[in-house]
């Protein structure tokens, strides 16, 4: 594989790598020098190659410099949400034997006396836990990062003259992939800590002539609310979307937006376990196949397997588990420091998604094997969420669809304020926007005739429909 993008920044010389919100431009050469200079701090704190570090990420210069420094100087790095509760941060530090923690201002401090060394090919650790705090992390190598950035650059029309904006957090694989793929191509990244809901974000889009915009389904929900199609953004060349599927209403909006503005939209599918991207839909398919994830990224291979026998499915329109092979498939999961020493390397990723392949070769997701949602690009395992709420002394049943969470709080008291309390908890502790969930107060849970929780009934109740179960189940 060619020299990793983080180790080859100098080749773009004085080309602008980063733009800061105050207008300061950082060249590729300067960025490489800053990253190498930062490495002196590791010596100061007695942290040697292959000792695990953690970084609380913001979309700012110090975060980028610390990230690139770790990639260039063999310090495996765990990327963290800076808003992660202290208890979850402490758990990760302890379980993964993190040597130093770097905060979002670049300040480094020793958090353990551990001096153990990880497997030599480990470069990055990304959390898969979303908001539930499960400390399982994805282990990625330099080859994983580089190959995925390279694949992205082969299907997105990234040019050296482009300016991307950090519309998503860096600790999220999709947001990180935007940075990686643009640095690979010698393009420019505008570091913004605003999101699409802030007027300052749109001012930056105009002032710095941003040429592409990446968003999750929630971002496009906000774009529709803001009437994005009316905003004057003459430099914008294309849009990308990933992090969970669009609902029917948003798909229609994106189709209209693309046609009206003559703006290519790239719908993409990925998982952190595959570094970021797995599949993409060519813009010319958007009008008729916006409900598909498309085809494998360059260098990758998609297939369907029968859930029980694991045999490869060759017939079109036959449902199976979507599996992926490619150089961007993670090394493995890590839940403790022992996992960081393992020598395992996955050759195939079972995504946990059910899909079919259409006769034209495009893949379409049809469901999930596990109870899991993606909200604002964050993965939410519903069983884990129920356990989390149980620890807070709320008895709940969680369900929903890809972009909407339903939490049923079981409380016999019809006047109870439990629903409001749980709603506040979801907003404050898990940082979920209120448009992404609904909390119901129920006396009992509806069941199907075979005694299983009737999740679809709860979803219908949440949408305002009345529900009556037939014989053998309870009614609501």
465 confidence band (pLDDT: 50, 70, 90): low
Tokens of 253: 């909006």
pLDDT digits (tens, 9 = 90+) for 131-177: 344 568 999 999 999 999 999 999 999 999 999 999 999 999 999 99
129 pLDDT higher than 70 = no
Q: Topology of 372-462 in CATH?
A: GMP Synthetase; Chain A, domain 3 (3.30.300)
Question: What is the arithmetic mean of pLDDT over 201-217?
Answer: 96
239 confidence band (pLDDT: 50, 70, 90): very high
Q: How many CB atoms within 10 Å of residue 475?
A: 11
pLDDT digits (tens, 9 = 90+) for 351-376: 999 899 999 999 999 877 777 788 87
* Dihedrals phi, psi of 441, to nearest 5 degrees: -105, 120
Annotate 303-330 with DSSP letters as a single string: EEE-TTT-PEE-STT--EEEEEESTTS-
Q: How many CB atoms within 10 Å of residue 267?
A: 25
- Determine what percent of the chain is predicted with pLDDT higher than 90: 74
Of residues 51 and 197, more confidently modeled: 51
What's residue 416's pLDDT? 76
HSE (CB half, 13 Å, CA atoms) of 422? 29
267 pLDDT higher than 60 = yes
Question: What is the arithmetic mean of pLDDT over 88-111?
Answer: 94
Cα 225 from chain centre: 23
The alpha carbon torsion through 224, 225, 228, 230 (nearest 10 deg) reads 120
What's residue 475's pLDDT? 29
Cα separation, 330 vs 348, in Å, equals 9
Q: What Rg do the C-alpha atoms of the chain give, in angstroms? A: 23
Beta carbons within 8 Å of 433's beta carbon, 6+ residues apart = 218, 376, 427
Question: What is the arithmetic mean of pLDDT over 386-408?
Answer: 89
386 confidence band (pLDDT: 50, 70, 90): confident
β partners of residue 26: 18
Of residues 18 and 410, more confidently modeled: 18
What's residue 464's pLDDT? 81
402 pLDDT higher than 90 = no
For the chain, the average pLDDT equals 91
Q: Residue ranges per domain, the chain?
A: 5-367, 372-462
318 pLDDT higher than 70 = yes
448 confidence band (pLDDT: 50, 70, 90): low
Question: Any idea how long the chain is?
Answer: 476
473 confidence band (pLDDT: 50, 70, 90): very low
Cα separation, 234 vs 272, in Å, equals 33
Q: Topology of 5-367 in CATH?
A: Rossmann fold (3.40.50)
pLDDT digits (tens, 9 = 90+) for 42-97: 999 999 999 999 999 999 999 999 999 999 999 999 999 998 889 889 999 999 99
| Lowest-confidence pick of 2-6, 76-80, 289-293 | 2-6
377 pLDDT higher than 90 = no
What's residue 345's pLDDT? 92
Of 194, 260, 200, the closest CA to residue 227 belongs to 260
Contact 335, 129 (CB under 8 A): no
Question: What is the arithmetic mean of pLDDT over 250-271?
Answer: 96
pTM: predicted TM-score of the whole model, two decimal places: 0.83
* 230 class by beta-carbon count within 10 Å (0-12 exposed, 13-18 middle, 19+ buried): exposed
Question: What is the arithmetic mean of pLDDT over 207-215?
Answer: 97
470 confidence band (pLDDT: 50, 70, 90): very low
Cα 454 from chain centre: 29
449 confidence band (pLDDT: 50, 70, 90): very low
Helix/strand/coil for 101: strand
């Amino acid at each position: 594989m060619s020299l990793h993008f983080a180790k080859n920044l100098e080749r773009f010389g004085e080309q602008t790598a980063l733009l800061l919100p105050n207008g300061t431009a950082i060249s590729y050469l300067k960025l490489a020098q800053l990253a190498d200079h930062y490495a002196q701090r590791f010596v100061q704190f007695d942290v040697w190659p292959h000792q695990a570090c953690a970084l609380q990420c913001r979309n700012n210069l110090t975060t980028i410099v610390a990230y690139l420094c770790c990639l260039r100087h063999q310090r495996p790095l765990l990327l963290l949400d800076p808003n992660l509760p202290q208890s979850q941060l402490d758990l990760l530090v302890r379980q993964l034997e993190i040597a130093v923690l770097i905060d979002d201002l670049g300040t480094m401090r020793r958090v353990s006396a551990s001096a153990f060394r990880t497997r030599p090919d480990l470069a990055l650790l990304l959390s898969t836990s979303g908001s539930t705090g499960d400390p399982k992390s994805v282990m990625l190598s330099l080859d994983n990062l580089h190959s995925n950035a390279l694949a992205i650059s082969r299907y997105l029309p990234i040019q050296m003259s482009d300016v991307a904006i950090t519309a998503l957090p860096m600790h999220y694989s999709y947001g990180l992939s935007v940075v990686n793929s643009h640095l690979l191509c010698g393009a420019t990244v505008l570091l913004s800590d605003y999101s699409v809901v802030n007027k300052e974000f749109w001012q930056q889009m105009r002032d710095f002539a941003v040429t592409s915009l990446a968003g999750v389904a929630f971002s496009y929900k906000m774009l529709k609310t803001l009437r994005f199609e009316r905003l004057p953004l003459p430099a914008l060349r294309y849009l990308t979307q990933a992090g969970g599927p669009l609902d029917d209403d948003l798909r229609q909006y994106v189709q209209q937006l693309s046609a009206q503005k003559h703006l290519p939209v790239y719908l993409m599918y990925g998982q952190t376990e595959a570094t970021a991207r797995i599949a993409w839909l060519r813009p010319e398919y958007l009008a008729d196949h916006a409900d598909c994830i498309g085809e494998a990224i360059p260098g990758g291979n998609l297939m369907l397997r029968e859930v029980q026998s694991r045999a490869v499915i060759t017939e079109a329109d036959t449902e199976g588990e979507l599996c992926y092979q490619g150089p961007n498939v993670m090394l493995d999961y890590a839940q403790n420091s022992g996992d960081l020493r393992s020598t395992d390397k996955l050759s195939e990723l079972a995504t946990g998604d059910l899909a079919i392949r259409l006769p034209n070769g495009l893949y379409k997701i049809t469901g999930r094997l596990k109870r899991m949602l993606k909200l604002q690009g964050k993965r939410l395992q519903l069983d884990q969420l129920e356990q989390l709420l149980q620890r807070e002394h709320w008895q709940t049943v969680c369900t929903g669809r890809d972009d909407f969470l339903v939490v049923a709080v079981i409380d016999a008291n019809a006047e109870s304020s439990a629903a409001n309390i749980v709603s506040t908890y979801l907003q404050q502790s898990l940082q979920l926007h209120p448009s992404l969930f609904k909390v119901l107060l129920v006396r009992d849970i509806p069941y199907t005739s075979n005694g299983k929780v009737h999740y679809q009934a709860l979803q219908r109740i949440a949408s305002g429909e009345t529900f009556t179960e037939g014989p053998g189940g309870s009614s609501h």
